[in-house]
Structures are given as C-alpha cells and as structure tokens.
Amino acid sequence: MENQELIKQVTERAQQWLTPAYDAETQAEVKRMLDNPDKTELIECFYRDLEFGTGGLRGIMGAGTNRMNIYVVGAATQGFANYLKKNFKDREQISVAIGYDCRNNSDLFAKKSADIFSANGIKVYLFDDMRPTPEMSFAIRYLGCQAGINLTASHNPREYNGYKAYWEDGAQVLAPHDKGIIDEVGKVKVQDIKFEGNPDLIEIIGAEIDKIYWDQVHTICIDPDVIKRQKDLSIVYTPLHGTGMNGIPQSLKLWGFENVHCVPEQMVKSGDFPTVVSPNPENAEALTLAIKLAKDIDADIVMASDPDADRVGMACKNDKGEWVLINGNQTCLLFLYYIITNRKKLGKMVGNEFVVKTIVTTEVIRQIAEKNNIEMRDCYTGFKWIAREIRLSEGVKQYIGGGEESYGFLAEDFVRDKDAVSACALLAEICAWAKDNGKTLYEVLMDIYLEYGFSKEYTVNVVKPGKSGAEEIQQMMVNLRENSPKELAGSKVTLVKDYKTLKQTDGNGNVSDMDMPDTSNVLQFYTEDNTKVSVRPSGTEPKIKFYMEVKGTLKSAADYVAADAAAAKKIEAVRASLGI
C-alpha cells in the first residue's frame, strides 16, 4: 500500500516550488510530477534535501530538493559564501576559484555559483572552459584563494552532476569547516540566494594557469634521461569526452613523449558521453575504443582519464601479447614501486619521505614501504585524507606519493586532490623505464608480486537506489555490526575494526582503541590467512561497497594465471560467507 503520509509530505514540499522564486521551466517540471498519478518520481525528487555532505553535493540532475539544479547548487553556494564571510571576516578580500567539467549543466552551475559568490562580495577566479579537477586544486593554492568549488560528478553516469567544495589548502574540506559549511547551507532558503552577480568581482582565467600547472607537473619527473631514450614510446590516450583533453596530451608532450595517439571519437567534449555506457576508466567497456586503437598501431600502453581527469585507468599487454586491464590497486602499486625504487637508485631520497594509502587499498604497498624503510600511512577513503597527511607534515617530511584503489593517485604536493594529469605522465615514464630495461609494464607488475607478495583484490558494489535503498544499506551495516562473521571462506576472523566507534576486537574478544582523526562508517574484518574485507557505504553513490583482498602464492611469473584463478575462487568463497 502506498505511504499516504509520505506522498502528502512530498506534495507539500513540491508545491513550494510552484512559487515565483522558481523559473517557469522548473515549475512546469514540478507540476508534471504532481499531476502524474504515479508518485514514484515525485517521491524520489522531493523526499529529502540532496545532502550537502563533507565533500559537497552529488546527485541526478532535475527539478526537486533531492536533485542537482540551480536552486540546490545556489543554496550550497550561498551557504558556503556565508561561512567564508564568517570564517575570514577580518580579510579585506575573500577569493575563490571555480572549475567545472564537461557534464551537461556543469558550466551553467559554475557560472551561477560565480554570480552568487560575487554578489556576496567574494572575488571569483572562473576558468574559461572545462579543466581537470587537479588544476582547480592547484589554482586555489597558486592564486591564494580561501576556497574553491568544482562542478563535476567525477566518473558517475551521465545523468549525474556534483559540487565539490575545497578549502584554502587546495583539498576538499575537512573538520571543522565541513560541518560548519553544512550548517550554513542548511539555513539557506531560496529567497536568500543572491543570484545577481557582480561582474567586477569575476575574473576569467585559463591559459596562463595551464602553463604554470603543466610546468609544475613536469617537476615530478624522476628520470628524464630514460624519457629521452624512449621518446617514441607508443601511447594511446582517451579523455572519455572529458577535461583530460585540456591537459594530458599537452603534459605528455612537455615531458618529452612524441608518439601520443588520442582516441579521436572521445576527444569530443560531451556530457552525453556518446561512445560509452559510463565514463568510468575502472570499467573495461570504457576502454574499448582505446584498446582497439592500441591493437591497430601496436601501442605500448593505453591510458584513460575520467571526465574531471582525477582518476587514471590503464591497460597493457600481458606475457601472451593480449591487452589486459590494470586495476586500481595494481595502479597504485606500480606508481609507488617505481617512485621508491628509482628515487633510491638515482640518489633522490633524503630520508624523510613518506607515502600514503587508504585503508581499503592493497596491503602489498605496506610490504614495499617497509622493505625500503619508507614511512607508510593509512588513512580513510578519499583524497582529502591523503591531503591532510601532506598538510600535517608540510615542511617537516616529504610526501612522495599516495593513492587509493579507486584509480586515484597523487605524486606531488602542489595539488591536493588526485591527479590524472601527473599520473598519466608518470605512467608513461614508468613504461619508458620498463622498455629501457627490456620489460613491459606487465612484467614490472610480476616483479613486484614476486618480490613483495601476491594478492588479489576485488570490490563488490551492491547498488540500492532511492529512499528504500538508503534504508537497506543502513540496515546492512547494522546487521554486520550486530552479527560479525566469525569466519570468511573457512578462515577464522582474528580482528574486527569498527571505524564508527574507533574500537577493534581481536579473535579472543579483547577490545582496544583505534587512533584515527575522525570516525567513519566502515567495518573491516581480518582473518588468519591474511584475508582483509572492508565494508563501507559510498559517500557519493547509492551503493554499499565490499572490498576484498586475499593472499596467494606466486613462485614465478608463469604461475600468475593459476595464482590469480585460485585467488578468484577464494574471493567467491568470501562472498558466499558474506552472502553477497
């Protein structure tokens, strides 16, 4: 039976959008939903306010309080402006940087936000066209801004858009500012939003920032000589219709790579992403055209960036000459292995370096760091936490790289978010170094497993859209806390970490405290055979994620296929234990 009380509530909320405060097009869309006998769409669009979380907004575009539109974005920007004016009240001129990606309405949302900030007396540096997320992060620091926003939904499907909020260090906001901004946004009514901008406070930026950013990216090159010897390395790159086309080919050229082939069909700016089902470099389907081109020209490497060019995906040839995808954990492994190995070899280590990974990322990284006497830090999922580690050690210790399993990596500290522009250039350098040593990227990966141990990682995304889905996800976490598994795939659970309570319980029931900067709705289970399972609801999508890592034995590169198959079988057993 339909929930009449819920329908009554959403109807009242929707009717408020039929007032003159909203434009005619929005009112017509809301009226259509109200008139529809099927109230499903009305409920989904109005059952709640789209949450301005600790990283900003992300949602499906359309009319309604639970959708991305100029009113929801406007309220977020007005609230952010109010918080900035409170926090920097003694500053003569507050300034912000604004970037956006290729998505439908990203430029509109960016320009509306620029108007709102400027109407509140805040100076705005607005990019003249779409730019990579990391360049926006760089611009905040370079221009001395107090904050910034980026209009993007990253790698989400085409119907989504998003709003990322950044602080003066160039990183996405953390406590106490995240909660402070959320409180201000929650107070804003539509009539409070100052939509009429002040053009005198809006400065358009572009090519001049590009050049400075690309030059800075070039400074992280570790071995320029190997690039000179391998400048003809055959590279295939795709931006998946997004911002990477405004940065990555140019950066590769600056590093000295002269044989870069961009996928022509995907060098077309489009928020409809016409050549892919989803613009996510984690998905094999998104790399189909790039791999086809790579086969046609016998390329050495395929690389792809997501629409806002913060994530990098890649493919290479295996020992049989077949093109295979490199997953996010392997990507992070390759980057950190190369950085540590070659900085040491070239005498570029001074002894105070550290690397960072997230708690759900492969533990093989820990083995690499420990064996090379490099400090390794674990942090929560999300690059704002990696940025926090950089900030805490600024001027004291040297950050040389950090990443997460979701295809994000950052090799520098002048940007404070994951950076596919620098990652693609560094990836090309790794391939050049491998080729210079008579190896492929695949063979380098095998070398890592043989020296530091083999593991296989697999993530299961359980998607639960809408209001009922959010409630199901919440209940799944409750059930896992109240009925923790005692074994996984036949191996006893020896440690349970609950980041919501910051308590960990060993196999004998002993409870101890965990040292983390904040709480997070994450559970982790460790077993006797070194299996690790992490469970967390996504902060940006309607899904709950199960990250699984199982160990295996690899005695030679020739054993990889068998070891991988055995690990895959074990993962299936872990899934059965969890009922997913």
Cβ contact 537:473 at 8 Å: yes
Q: Is the dihedral of CA 152, 155, 161, 162 positive or negative?
A: negative
Region for residue 410 given its phi and psi (left: phi exceeds 0; alpha: psi -120 to 50; beta: otherwise): beta
Half-sphere exposure of 395 (CA within 13 A, CB side): 1
Of the candidates 561, 562, 573, 567, the residue with the CA atom closest to the CA atom of residue 549 = 567
CB neighbourhood size of 281 (10 A): 31
Looking at residue 65, the DSSP 8-state letter turns out to be T
Catalytic site includes residue 154: yes
Gyration radius of the chain over CA positions = 24
DSSP letters spanning 437-485:
TT--HHHHHHHHHHHH-EEEEEEEEEE--HHHHHHHHHHHHHHHHHT--
Residue type, 40: T
Half-sphere exposure of 490 (CA within 13 A, CB side): 5
Which residue in the list 95, 118, 154, 577 is annotated as catalytic? 154
Give me 520's structure tokens: 């997070």
Of the candidates 186, 188, 176, 147, the residue with the CA atom closest to the CA atom of residue 164 = 147
| Nearest-5° Cα angle at 52, 161 to 461 | 60
Catalytic positions, please? 154
